[in-house]
Amino acid sequence: MAHNQNVLRWLSDVNGDGKSYRQDSRDLDFKLREGDIYAFYTPDNDRYYRTVFLKKLGLDQVLKPVISEFPTYGVIPAHIQEIRPEQIYQYMRIHNMANMNTINAFPKTDIPKSHGGMNQ
């Protein structure tokens, strides 16, 4: 019983700033914002990087990532925040799921066919 109480006490004490009790030194994921420029090293060669930013595109003006067409040789400048390529893919995957048009993707099939027409 004393062991359980000690564990519960320890768990209740661990409510700090979220950084002092981390198990590794990886950067935390953050939400990409419109207008900010980010960069990531290319997966095939870490001497090149690409830049990316979010921009409202299309008729629906939805934020979409715009990735530089050609990689740049060198080190990412200090004023540009470095991200992992997976963060862009994760953003695109979440964006595609959140903005999926459910009316067209899952049409309503339980409508009776007796509303006049050839099926009567």
Check residue 70 and give its pLDDT.
Answer: 93
**Spans of all domains in the chain:** 35-106
| Helix/strand/coil percentages in the chain, nearest 5 | 25, 25, 50
Q: Give residue 115's pLDDT.
A: 56
Q: Any idea which of 18-22, 57-61, 81-85, 92-96 has the lowest mean pLDDT?
A: 18-22
CB count in 10 Å sphere of residue 3? 7
Residue 23 in tokens: 């198990």
The answer to whether residues 64 and 95 touch, using CB atoms and an 8 Å cutoff, is yes
More confident residue, 85 or 47: 47
* Tens of pLDDT, residues 6-42: 877 776 665 555 555 556 666 666 678 888 999 999 9
* Whole-structure pTM value: 0.56
